[in-house]
Structure 1
Amino acid sequence: MHQLIKHLLHAQAPQEKVIVQGWVRTRRDAKGFSFFEINDGSCLANLQVVVNEGTPANAEITHILTGASVIIEGALVASPAAGQKWEVHASRVELVGPADASYPLQKKGHTLEFLRTIAHLRPRSNLFGAVFRTRSRLAHAVHQFFQERDFVYVHTPIITTSDCEGAGEMFRVTTLKGEPGEKPEDDFFGKPAYLTVSGQLEGEALACALSRIYTFGPTFRAENSNTARHAAEFWMIEPEMAFCDLAADMDLAEEFIKAMARHMLDHCAEDLAFFNKFVDKEVAARLQFVVERPFQRIPYSEAIQILQASGKAFEFPVRYGVNLQSEHERYLTEEHFKCPVTVFNYPREIKPFYMRVNDDGQTVTAMDVLVPGIGEVIGGAQREERPDRLQEQMAFHKLNPADYWWYADLRKYGTVPHAGFGLGFERLLMFLTGVSNIRDVIPFARTPKNADF
């Protein structure tokens, strides 16, 4: 059985026989022997392999180029080279899959734009190896966080007939071919169906039976936005709690962000050090800052007043009744409060229909968690549990109540106050790694005019 390089690099003693499988990062030759740097993706560091002249091999050593896959048998011995504890002295080399000089990931710097054009190969680079290992570890941390708090993991539909956000930015799913005579009822589901923009509505139904639930799955938005923070396909984490108000919802959201930052610091040290050195020199300090500092909470109206009094020339003018933009959110967290901020009680007209209307009749129990370096990472709310007010909300937002009959049913049969939030997993990864473009924290990005691979 072969051993992963990350385990070999932390071995406690030499080993007479090891088997290493991986890809060649570099090869350099000297008189009588060659040095290979091998990486198998299990960690950032490479393992040096020394191949003496005459070592049994199924191909000429000089034919094993950068990018080739190999199996190495040999002994793990103490390395005389600085910066590495162990190296392997090969007793056998097997070339599994050759690569020629056209292999695009040669040992030199590459731009992120170029690497996006070879998304099938970029996970072999240091940066994207670190990104996708971090993505895996944080996915585990997400489940651990909710499971330890007795949340039930549920799977909500990817195909839906409900527009959760009410904005109409949904991808149609259809088997119709646009031929003459086709009718909507001829479609596969007999009605219009779409890729989900959120599992929240269905999550509410499950929370109203299981008390605490969370979803963690793919979502899709046909929003023609080509910014560094938007993607057409991304993963959402959406907890929902019955018998819960806005204050408890904000508590959970802030606790979650702190837990994820703490997990990154405690369990991703090697990759975090890489991000801190080559991506964002402030990311480690920022995560430590978030772990240690309490979050500030302010109503939306106060946030607007602070922004208007700042004297800053924002690209997007600030006034009551508009959504906060990234530049506004970052000013609040990075310059004014110098800590994470939770903004709550937004104007009714700029938030979706399902949010509970406050006693003033003008605002809803919405909240957004803003963090330094990114801006919004969490959006949530206490949901409107009162049957009559939900009907008013749907009318206010010009929605057809017939499309949400089952959702209204939840308010007829044992209604309870409940709340939850949504978190874009890729936004969370951007915050934790310092990577500034959402296209670089998901393996194969889907953005307007881009669905390659």
Structure 2
Amino acid sequence: MRHTKVKDLLNSTTTLQEVNAKGWVRTFRNNQFIALNDGSTIKNIQCVVDFENTPDEVLKRITTGAAVSVTGSLVESKGAGQKYEIKVAKLEILGDSDPEKFPMQPKKHSLEFLRENAHLRVRTNAFGAIMRIRSVLSFAVHNYFQQKGFVYVNTPIITGADAEGAGEMFQVTSLPLENLPKTEEGTIDYKKDFFGKHTNLTVSGQLEGETFAMALGQIYTFGPTFRAENSNTSRHLAEFWMIEPEVAFNDLDANMDLAEDFIQYVIKYALNNCGDDLKFLEGRLLEEEKSKPQAERSEMTLLEKLNFVLENNFKRVSYTEAIDILRESTPNKKKKFSYIINEWGADLQSEHERYLVEKHFKCPVILFDYPSNIKAFYMRLNEDGKTVRAMDILFPGIGEIVGGSQREERFDVLVEKMKALGIDEKELSWYLDTRRFGSAVHSGFGLGFERLVLFVTGMSNIRDVIPFPRTPGSADF
């Protein structure tokens, strides 16, 4: 017979004569009670084995991590905590697990240990919950944009363009590294490479996305991006996923409206569809908080933090106003900030962003009109000649979660900005064509998907919200 998911069995409205469930043993108590989980829910279903009529050699194989199939009747549970359990009539071992070698024993493991066993960590309650939430958030992203009439565009992973201008990219080559071909000048001859030019893994699909927005009106990308930053921090990954909408005829105000509506939608979707997983992660975080000094404890639980974003309008504040607030703030005057704010033009750090959200405004914040010299070349220059139409959305506990801008639609201004930064016009001639032929006001933003999952799950390290993290010195699995 076909097996039924544990989630559906637990949500059944009636007892059933015969059911089959398949999954992995979480625990086996008293040679009688199996806690079975199949990944469909964080909850286990209790399976009661007739140990008196089950051969000892079978009972010995029911170990943590083993895959089993159980057939029997779904009956009302005699124990607390769940409505139903399975009274087992037939048990089959589908896959044995060595109890002495299986790493994911039913006990508390450190997150570092679990990262070292990323291929098995999803069998724990915490990582099962995180990955189910990640899946639901991914669906919510597509659902939002599809309902709004956006076109989903797959932008290149291999590119010759550096969208950010930072140059911290992974090079793609088929040249023999032990015997690189050289030009007469002694430089690497990229004409002999696979693509006939120097190419890299993309850091963003934005530039290509703009070309489609200028024909299809409103588009979004959702794909992998890569940064070769040697940053071993809890906020950085070398490989991550980016969500990047681009909309023709949207100015910065409309861009902020879109970003706020979008992010509230996906968070609400997670709250409505991941209740059990979020409740578990909230309890896990509350336990962690108990071990921290009082001053370092969060003022909000996980669910309170998510509802905080939904129940508060995002406060829109200019960069200039934010700098004035920060400069006059108590932690700045008492030098409690690691990066002291002395003058206009400073690049804000996470501590500043969190102060604005958590202490000063006490709501999500959108900062806009940043100094042009700390933002990318493609952002529209304001009339003051020193700021650009950029915007960042700041959240509690995490700081910046979204970055975007109104794009520079004026051909001559964009060319001058590129010249000033030494960006080769020929390399981006295709990008400039969108300004040569039918240019119009347009805007967009980028949201690092892992940063979103980090916020929604309440995890503190971005390596714990992606299946297989890629970081400096680590590309395992």
Q: Give the TM-score normalised by the residue count of structure 2.
A: 0.92
Q: For 2:436 and 2:53, locate their aligned partners in 1 and report how far apart those are by CA, in whole Å.
A: 77
Pick one of 290, 301, 318 that aligns with 1:282: 301
Query: Match for residue 9 of structure 1?
Result: 10
Matched position secondary structure for 1:401: coil
Pick one of 349, 356, 381 that aligns with 2:380: 356
1:340 partnered with 2:364: yes
Percent sequence identity over aligned pairs: 54
Deviation at 1:324, TM superposition (A): 1.1
After superposition, residues 31-180 of structure 1 pair within 5 angstroms as 34-53=32-51, 55=53, 59-100=57-98, 101-178=100-177, 179-180=179-180
Deviation string 1:64-100 (CA, Å, 9 cap, x unpaired) is 2101111111111111101110111111111111111
Task: Indicate conservation of the 8 Å contact 1:300/1:346, yes or no.
Answer: yes
Query: Match for residue 308 of structure 1?
Result: 327
Q: For 1:59 and 1:16, locate their aligned partners in 2 and report how far apart those are by CA, in whole Å.
A: 28
Query: Match for residue 225 of structure 2?
Result: 219
Deviation at 1:317, TM superposition (A): 2.2
Deviation at 1:58, TM superposition (A): 11
Matched position secondary structure for 1:197: coil
- Which residue identity lines up with residue 294 of structure 1 in the other structure? N
Matched position secondary structure for 1:63: coil
After superposition, residues 185-204 of structure 1 pair within 5 angstroms as 185-204=191-210
Deviation at 1:23, TM superposition (A): 0.4
Deviation at 1:305, TM superposition (A): 1.1
Matched position secondary structure for 2:428: helix
Q: For 2:465 and 2:344, locate their aligned partners in 1 and report how far apart those are by CA, in whole Å.
A: 34
Deviation string 1:189-228 (CA, Å, 9 cap, x unpaired) is 0001110000000000000000000001100000111111
Deviation string 1:100-132 (CA, Å, 9 cap, x unpaired) is 121111111111111101000000000000000
Task: Indicate conservation of the 8 Å contact 2:61/2:93, yes or no.
Answer: no
Matched position secondary structure for 2:81: coil
Matched position secondary structure for 1:410: helix
Deviation at 1:419, TM superposition (A): 0.2
Task: Indicate conservation of the 8 Å contact 2:315/2:364, yes or no.
Answer: yes
Q: For 2:37 and 2:272, locate their aligned partners in 1 and report how far apart those are by CA, in whole Å.
A: 24
Query: Match for residue 262 of structure 2?
Result: 256
Matched position secondary structure for 1:403: coil
Q: For 1:57 and 1:93, locate their aligned partners in 2 and report how far apart those are by CA, in whole Å.
A: 11
Query: Match for residue 375 of structure 1?
Result: 399
- Does the C-alpha gap of structure 1 residues 239 and 180 become closer, same or farther in structure 2, counting only changes over 3 Å? closer
Task: Indicate conservation of the 8 Å contact 1:55/1:93, yes or no.
Answer: no
Matched position secondary structure for 1:162: coil
Pick one of 418, 423, 431 that aligns with 2:442: 418
Pick one of 368, 390, 394 that aligns with 2:414: 390
Q: For 1:391 and 1:212, locate their aligned partners in 2 and report how far apart those are by CA, in whole Å.
A: 25
Deviation at 1:15, TM superposition (A): 1.1
Query: Match for residue 270 of structure 1?
Result: 276
Q: Give the TM-score normalised by the residue count of structure 1.
A: 0.97
Deviation string 1:230-284 (CA, Å, 9 cap, x unpaired) is 1110000000000110000011111112112211221111111111111256110
- Which residue identity lines up with residue 22 of structure 1 in the other structure? G
Task: Indicate conservation of the 8 Å contact 2:75/2:85, yes or no.
Answer: yes
Query: Match for residue 317 of structure 2?
Result: 298
Deviation at 1:54, TM superposition (A): 5.1
Q: For 1:227 and 1:301, locate their aligned partners in 2 and report how far apart those are by CA, in whole Å.
A: 29
Task: Indicate conservation of the 8 Å contact 2:181/2:192, yes or no.
Answer: no
Deviation at 1:56, TM superposition (A): 5.9
Matched position secondary structure for 2:344: coil
Matched position secondary structure for 1:316: coil
Q: For 2:156 and 2:96, locate their aligned partners in 1 and report how far apart those are by CA, in whole Å.
A: 43
Aligned residues: 450
Ranges of 4+ aligned residues in structure 1 off by more than 3 Å? 54-59
* Structure 2 unaligned blocks of 5 or more: 183-188, 287-299
- Which residue identity lines up with residue 299 of structure 1 in the other structure? S
